Amino acid sequence: MSGGSGGEAGVSVLIVDDDAGDRKQLRRLLAQALPRAQVFEAEDAGAAEAFDACEPDLILLDHMLPGTTGLELMSRLSAPWPKAAVVMMTGQGSEEIAKEAILNGAIDYLPKTGLTEELLRRVALSSIGIARSRWYAAERQAELSSFCDVLIHDFKAPIRSAEFLAEQIVEDLEDEDLDSLSQSAQLLQKTARQMSALVQSLATHIRADRSTAPVERVSLERVVDTALTALQREIAENGAEVTVDTAALLVCCNPAELAQVLQNLLANAIKYAGGRRPEIRITAARLDRPDEPERAEMLRLCVADNGIGIPAENARAVFDPFKRLPSALAVPGTGLGLATCRKVVKRYGGRIWCEPGREVGTVFCIELPVDLPRAAEDVAPTSGQTARA
């Protein structure tokens, strides 16, 4: 397996073919068809499944591979890379193979013979657009299903509570019990605030991937200061100790949105302190990865706390919508905060994760690009989506 195309911004392509000559020919055509693309190679199924340099936008998959076929491998590659467009390729054109490939999830089919730069470019761009639209539609459908579930489940209790309290208020008015009336009214207000908070969380989560807020290179110190200012009251009330070591670093983001992400992580650190005095450390460093050109210009921001922690087996699940750990159920929340953070970070071309295996506390890390993305010339955005540079 080998990296390609000089680290230029653009789409990433994975060629899976056991024939070195065919891989060389595809690489040559891709250099002309998609000059800004990053091109990688895998000579067999094992190398393709072990590939982890990036999430490919396009997979050019040979129909016949040692010990397997492209059709058999396709589903195994689609699982980790659901957004990738798979284009099946074979040395001999066959309508039957083309039909079978499409039925098994391939976006398109190309015979290697007579393949031209223009044909490859046209098929590559259209396939990537279709694959992204399919993935987006599937994600939205799954999300809408989850929203229905949470609305049905999470609103039942506060609605029943509001109904009961309203009845109690009527009784208190009839009995002229002002003390009880005041107490019931306060509880009703609290219930209304809980429902309002849930609706707001849902709205924020839905809009997180539709934002048109401008992205710019900004001082990370400015972003951190914004988040800390917004949480001044919570920090003071809980006696939280926050230390910051971000140096004079720049990051590519919308400052208000990234501040909101950081604010969410800090608020969680305070909320889930587990009875301890919250101790939070914010650090950042520029990454130096000469062997990984596609991730070289990145900044890593970490938020570490001394709270209740997250079990290693839940380190990935905490970013799923509506996912709340058993240890956190006693603390009010909707289970949407970290899922929304992930949406925002991914929109910037970054990633967010939780470092598992700590005995005490949690460390959340975010990697973000330092530089603004170049204009996306290789892939036109499909409806409802933004092309990735």
Between 207 and 16, the more confident residue is 16
What does the alpha-carbon distance between residue 161 and residue 316 come to, in Å, rounded to a whole number?
34
Average pLDDT score over residue span 30-40: 92
Instruction: Parse the chain into domains and list their residue ranges.
Output: 5-135, 139-207, 216-369
Domain 216-369 has CATH 3.30.565.10: yes
Q: CB atoms < 10 A from the CB of 21, how many?
A: 8
Asked if residue 50 has pLDDT above 90, the reply is yes
Return the pLDDT at 152.
Answer: 67
Between 159 and 268, the more confident residue is 268
Share of the chain above pLDDT 90, in %: 32
Mean pLDDT, all residues of the chain: 80
Among 31-40, 93-102, 303-312, 339-348, name the one with the lowest average pLDDT.
Answer: 93-102
Return the pLDDT at 18.
Answer: 94
Asked if residue 118 has pLDDT above 80, the reply is yes
Average pLDDT score over residue span 103-116: 88
Asked if residue 324 has pLDDT above 60, the reply is no
- Name the pLDDT band for 166 (thresholds 50, 70, 90): confident
Among 86-90, 104-108, 196-200, name the one with the lowest average pLDDT.
Answer: 196-200
Which residues have a Cβ under 8 Å from the Cβ of 101 and sit 6 or more positions away? 63, 70, 71, 74, 88, 109
Q: Starting at the earlier edge strand, list the strands of the sheet with 351-355.
A: 241-245, 279-286, 298-304, 363-369, 351-355
Average pLDDT score over residue span 92-106: 80
Return the pLDDT at 212.
Answer: 59
- Name the pLDDT band for 77 (thresholds 50, 70, 90): very high
What does the alpha-carbon distance between residue 205 and residue 131 come to, in Å, rounded to a whole number?
23
Do the domains spanning 5-135 and 216-369 agree at the CATH topology level?
no
Among 77-91, 126-140, 190-204, 337-351, name the one with the lowest average pLDDT.
Answer: 190-204
Return the pLDDT at 320.
Answer: 76
Average pLDDT score over residue span 140-146: 72
Closest of 40, 44, 19 to residue 30, by C-alpha: 40
Return the pLDDT at 201.
Answer: 58
Instruction: For residue range 257-286, list pLDDT tens digits in order.
Output: 888 889 889 998 998 888 889 999 999 998
Between 347 and 79, the more confident residue is 79
Return the pLDDT at 358.
Answer: 67
Task: Select, from the ranges 227-241, 292-306, 367-381, the one with the highest average predicted confidence (pLDDT).
Answer: 227-241
Asked if residue 327 has pLDDT above 70, the reply is no
Average pLDDT score over residue span 73-96: 86
Quick one: tokens of 265? 């992580």
Quick one: tokens of 301? 């921001």
Are the C-beta atoms of 59 and 45 separated by less than 8 Å?
A: no
Superfamily assignment of 5-135 in CATH? Response regulator (3.40.50.2300)
Instruction: For residue range 334-372, list pLDDT tens digits in order.
Output: 567 788 888 888 878 889 999 865 667 899 999 988 876
